[in-house]
A and B are shown apart, each in its own frame.
Chain A
């Protein structure tokens, strides 16, 4: 059972046959590259207020300027980078937390399980969107990192549940029982036997959390409780709102950010769901092109 080959097979199959996956992959990579390289290739300071105000798109300012004279394209490029960074942070923290707590709960069971279960329960019952907004508003020092941690707090519980469930079912499988009987240390079992098998779940959720993080941060910034003095896709829309861009018809301020947000989140979601059959044999049987 050479797992490696099957993975590579299905991935190349995905690229060749699943058009939707291909499109999503291209879109996301394009956005990623724009975020990484954009500010370098277009080195305009997004905070600088010296340009002529309210210019529509033109050669020197491809996306025009806003009411204060800031270049919109520079803000957009910078914003993509910030949003991706935040999404990444959120994904890392929540995946880490969720995997750690979920696997400890699932593997060791007992009182650890009860505590994690209780915590998860509590966090899942509260209306996370609403509470997130209020809690964020109360934080006086809103940096990108702190926000990412707060957002992760609401993401990890559902995921941890899933991890726990996966591990519990794995514990019943033969090879694990074999490892346990052969008195391998718990950590070795966790790392060598269990982890590879839940890798799929982790990776898929990571991609999905990337999207969630971007989505949440954008929403928070739009209301005005995002990170202070930070340019992100959401803050672009926030400024469009406060500077009355809609009433004044400054479409270049609010149309591009929304497109990018939708594209990023959608492509990440497609990637996440498309990757599932790569690792999940049952879905593979049904036919990858289906999903």
Chain B
């Protein structure tokens, strides 16, 4: 739970910044290595300091259990001193090799955003009960709990609520301030209607689920990110994907025509309650200024005739594109391929995802109107995703792409044109792939912009997927008891899921109703005296580092490896019980069971047969 165990750095998507929390700062030493400094004040709630060893062992345990924060990271960690460690993209045991990748934003973030657990507690459990002990350890005893955040568990109610109590002498109170709410209750509320009722009454302060008709709640003192439509902050772009194994959809002209034939405003109004806006044509979430700077508006004028980079709803143009590309209208009024084969498209979304169900119906209706015969089917969600990831049975589908985050907009392009979404669609674009590999190595802002411009042009030419709108980040708060909530006019931090580390800055800023809320001193960029590290700066630093030569490793390290040097096997391992057998070894246990079962079945069958063959009495 990120709430109790905050990460080294916390990322905010609204401002695109990193907040050093457990960590104090990081330095990029060379193109493979980053050095991270843990705050000297950082302590666990039992008084022990948070050290580099904690990071190391947290990762080591995750690897043993094959799940948890930062699996395998420990192999890349070298402990420099108590509070300092180095993370390299090469294995510390081996050193840099010719094929070692240089530090990228995603690998950097992998370690910066890692959770840290108290190694002295966890290793104690591991020593006594092995990996299973750690895996089954519930950590729900408030008396024994050791945390690093400003709250600890006070009570654990089986009726789905967790109560946290503030630690009044929290180590971070001089840096971040002490949070005003003494108690924080985390209610698991599975039902939207009930939760909304409670929100309306002010029984819930912070809600991150879906709300229909949020504007109707404003008069009760409920707020959300913005008091104007679309009310919610934009999240990932929801796209209409194409199965390009269907030769009709492999033609970019058809895809572009479809893009023009979608009534975006209708879709958002009916399917999404106007909670979002139409997405840019390439998926860049330009609602945020920092991402909007990557858009080349000249291209948009050239391709779409407008400078806001949205594909206009123009059914006539859609028809024209098809006709120009050689598609003809058949005898039944629907389009056929240039060689006369009828076109029949199948669109689908998961059954039960009602917004998407409405959206796909509207889209299908619209496509049918321009002459592209489309029918709609639904599948259960698990089946749906299996089918679209393998390209079976469905031609048009919807999915959420990657969106706002430290790697935006690169992640969107990458997911659609190169990685997982591209493989679902059976799409490939070598030029785009090359650009996507080059961009992280650039450090000159002009060069970066040019590269993105080229990428966008490739996208507009091909239209591999049609971004429809942005998924909303559901958020609502009640001002009945607490004020100071982040929103569009108070955007010191982005709203987020309450249980994550990223929820802490929100809580740290709250004040009781009646007091005057103010933006915390640390909630500003470093350049303005705060603690925020803007991502573009990180990107540029990375770009610079990748062009430098790696410094020879030993000169910056102390000559003597410290006693707990990560390159040695950690002392506890030698005392460990043998690690868990991988599942493949288990089948041998079952052969006896199978034999026994077979014997039982045969016996039962014999008995049944004997019973049936008994001489029957005449009366029934």
Contact = CB atoms under 8 A, between A and B. Distances in A.
A50 B193 CA distance: 27
A140 B383 contact: yes
Interface in B316-372: 351-352, 354, 358, 361-362, 365
Given A68-B270, A114-B612, A228 B383 contact: no
Contacts of B377: 228-229
A175 interface: no
Contacts of A244: 193, 212-213
B79 to A, nearest CB: 51
Given A68-B270, A114-B612, A140-B380, A242 B354 contact: yes
Contacts of B376: 229
A224 interface: yes
Contacts of B362: 49
Interface string B413-457: 000000000000000000000000000000000000000000000
Contact of A49 (B270, B351, B620): B270
A248 B213 contact: yes
B270 A140 contact: no
Interface residues of B, number: 22
B71 to A, nearest CB: 33
A-side interface size class = 20 to 34
Nearest to B384: A140
B398 to A, nearest CB: 16
Nearest to A138: B380
B379 interface: yes
Interface in A52-111: 53, 67-69, 109-111
A90 B151 CA distance: 58
Contacts of A36: none
B378 interface: yes
Contacts of A248: 213
A110 B351 CA distance: 47
Contacts of B354: 242-243
A283 B76 CA distance: 88
Nearest to A224: B352
A48 B362 CA distance: 8
A139 to B, nearest CB: 9
Interface string A206-233: 0000000000000000001000110000
Interface of A: 47-50, 53, 67-69, 109-111, 114, 140, 168, 224, 228-229, 242-244, 247-248
25 contacts: A47-B361, A48-B365, A49-B270, A49-B362, A50-B365, A68-B270, A68-B358, A69-B270, A109-B620, A110-B616, A111-B612, A140-B379, A168-B620, A224-B351, A224-B352, A228-B351, A228-B377, A228-B378, A228-B379, A242-B354, A244-B193, A244-B212, A244-B213, A247-B196, A248-B213
Given A49-B270, A244-B212, 18 more contacts: A48-B365, A49-B361, A67-B270, A68-B271, A109-B620, A140-B379, A140-B380, A168-B620, A224-B351, A224-B352, A228-B351, A228-B377, A228-B378, A229-B378, A242-B354, A244-B213, A247-B193, A248-B213
Interface of B: 193, 196, 212-213, 270-271, 351-352, 354, 358, 361-362, 365, 376-380, 383, 612, 616, 620
